Structure 1
């Protein structure tokens, strides 16, 4: 069974989307927070955090090591060990809400509010899905090998989201 189920998305106006994932990860809450909020943690599954001021209103610059995309912005919500939200160029509002389940698993409720056409929405659903798979691997001690990354998995996921959306 995959730990990352398909996301949901809803249109919030023309070219305005809300993408949602709910992840149930077999990792302690204490391990997840740094993976979402520190440069070392983010690099293992998402992007290099060239700038990350870990406080409300702090600056952030993320550089995706698989695509080269650079996004700058601000920390728009920060509740230590519970909520981290970044609003950045290119990707809009990215929010992680953590809830511990016992002592050894955590639920992440993720929201990405962004603008873009339908084609981009499908790319983003597939991209986040793949990144969350990489998060699980990084937490298990296998961070992403960015030089070896290919878009094969993302392409497969995009096809799945396209077929899922058209049914």
Structure 2
């Protein structure tokens, strides 16, 4: 199984933008979890991480996206970071067959955010890292 990226629906409500991606990954949820939920894992493909306290309401500082709090935390399933300036980033993992997993990513933000191309490039790095 190889990874793939599907652009989901993008929406705008007033000044709030919501972007969705569906990323199919060739590894189990447990193997993917560190890539979205620990500092070393996120730094390897997404953005350098200065702080990540792995718990609900823990502090998080994502260098290119902003600093804030962990607003959802369900080990091996959901990590959500709400950061000032970068909005809300939600990583939701689901099983996909016997060995794979699906990452449902949502980025909700106001004003200018990372472009679709920037996120697609990040997810391509994640797939390469896990392949």
Length-normalised TM-score, structure 1: 0.72
1:31 pairs with 2:31: yes
Indicate conservation of the 8 Å contact 1:29/1:103, yes or no. Answer: no
Mark the runs of 5 or more structure 2 residues left unpaired by the alignment: none
Partner of residue 121, structure 2: 130
Indicate conservation of the 8 Å contact 1:7/1:20, yes or no. Answer: yes
Partner of residue 11, structure 1: 12
- Alignment map for 1:108-123 (pairs within 5 Å): 108-116=103-111, 120=112, 123=114
- Alignment map for 1:86-125 (pairs within 5 Å): 86-116=81-111, 120=112, 123-125=114-116
Which protein has the bigger helix share? 1
Rounded to whole Å, the distance in 1 between the matches of 2:76 and 2:25 is 15
Rounded to whole Å, the distance in 2 between the matches of 1:70 and 1:91 is 5
Point out which structure has higher relative CO (alpha carbons under 8 A, 6+ apart). 2
* The structure with more radius of gyration: 1
- The count of corresponding residues between Structure 1 and Structure 2 is 130
Indicate conservation of the 8 Å contact 1:7/1:125, yes or no. Answer: no
Partner of residue 46, structure 1: 46
Rounded to whole Å, the distance in 2 between the matches of 1:135 and 1:32 is 9
SS at match of 1:23: strand
RMSD of the TM alignment (CA)? 1.7
Rounded to whole Å, the distance in 1 between the matches of 2:32 and 2:71 is 19
